[in-house]
Amino acid sequence: MRLVSLLLILILVLFATPGGRGSKPVSADLPNIDTPRGFLEMCAAVDKKPPGQSDIELFQTGYCLGWIAGLTNGIHVAEAMHRMTEPNVIFCAPEGNSYGQMIHIVKKFIPSHPEMEHLSTGTIAGAALAEAFPCK
């Protein structure tokens, strides 16, 4: 939990502060990951191996992995705080599941559900993970 908190603080510091006098924040040129289209753009290079990624693709892959980690951990923390039991939790990922797999699930879900494109990526990702990993 402490590591997650430190990572979130680091991300906030990196994206909320400009690189120098008069320059834009780093995040100004990035796709908006909170929209389905932005998520697909930001996470496009996740499948590439690091030696084949450009610097921006490497950054976007890390950002995407951090985003899905934050979303899923946030869901689990909220469920725990509300003392939700398994039949009521949003999704039950199997042991050994990776954030990369979750990204693939969301990337596949978005084009298959154009009726949801007006919703936030977090809402869509929650639906995708619930469909892929239902609780028994």
For residue range 39-48, what is the model confidence (pLDDT) as tens digits?
Answer: 999 999 888 8
* Phi and psi, residue 47, nearest 5°: -75, -20
* pLDDT above 70: residue 10: no
Parse the chain into domains and list their residue ranges: 1-28, 31-132
What's the CA gap between 32 and 52, in Å, rounded? 24
What's the CA gap between 54 and 4, in Å, rounded? 26
Position with higher pLDDT, 34 vs 9: 34
What's the CA gap between 90 and 75, in Å, rounded? 8
Which residues, 6+ apart, have CB-to-CB distance to 119 below 8 Å?
Answer: 36
State residue 115's pLDDT score: 96
- Would you place residue 8 in the very low, low, confident or very high pLDDT band (cuts 50, 70, 90)? low
pTM of the model: 0.75
77-134, pLDDT tens digit by residue? 988 888 877 778 889 899 999 999 999 999 999 999 999 999 999 999 999 999 999 9
State residue 85's pLDDT score: 76
